[in-house]
Chain A
Amino acid sequence: MQLVYFAWIRERVGKSEESMQLPGGIATVSDLIDHLCSINDIYKAALGDKSVVRIAVNQTHVGLDHPVTDADEVAFFPPVTGG
Chain B
Amino acid sequence: MASVSVQAGDFQIADEIAALKNGRVDIGAIVTFTGTVRDMNGDLKAMTLEHYPGMTEAELGRVAEEAEKRWPLVGCRVIHRYGRLEPGDNIVLVITMSAHRHAAFEAADFLMDFLKSRAPFWKKEETSEGGQWVDAKESDTDALKRWG
Contact = CB atoms under 8 A, between A and B. Distances in A.
Interface of A: 4, 6-8, 10, 56, 59-61, 75, 77-83
Contact of A83 (B55, B115, B133): B115
Contacts of A60: 55, 58
Interface in B5-46: 35
Contacts of B55: 56, 59-60, 75
B52 A81 contact: no
Contact of B122 (A4, A59, A61, A80): A80
Interface of B: 35, 49-52, 54-55, 58-59, 80, 91-92, 112, 115-124, 133-136
Given A7-B133, A8-B133, A80 B54 contact: no
B58 to A, nearest CB: 6
B133 A82 contact: no
26 contacts: A6-B52, A6-B120, A6-B122, A7-B50, A7-B124, A8-B133, A56-B120, A77-B52, A77-B120, A78-B133, A80-B117, A80-B119, A80-B122, A80-B136, A81-B134, A81-B135, A82-B51, A82-B80, A82-B115, A82-B116, A82-B121, A82-B123, A83-B35, A83-B92, A83-B119, A83-B121
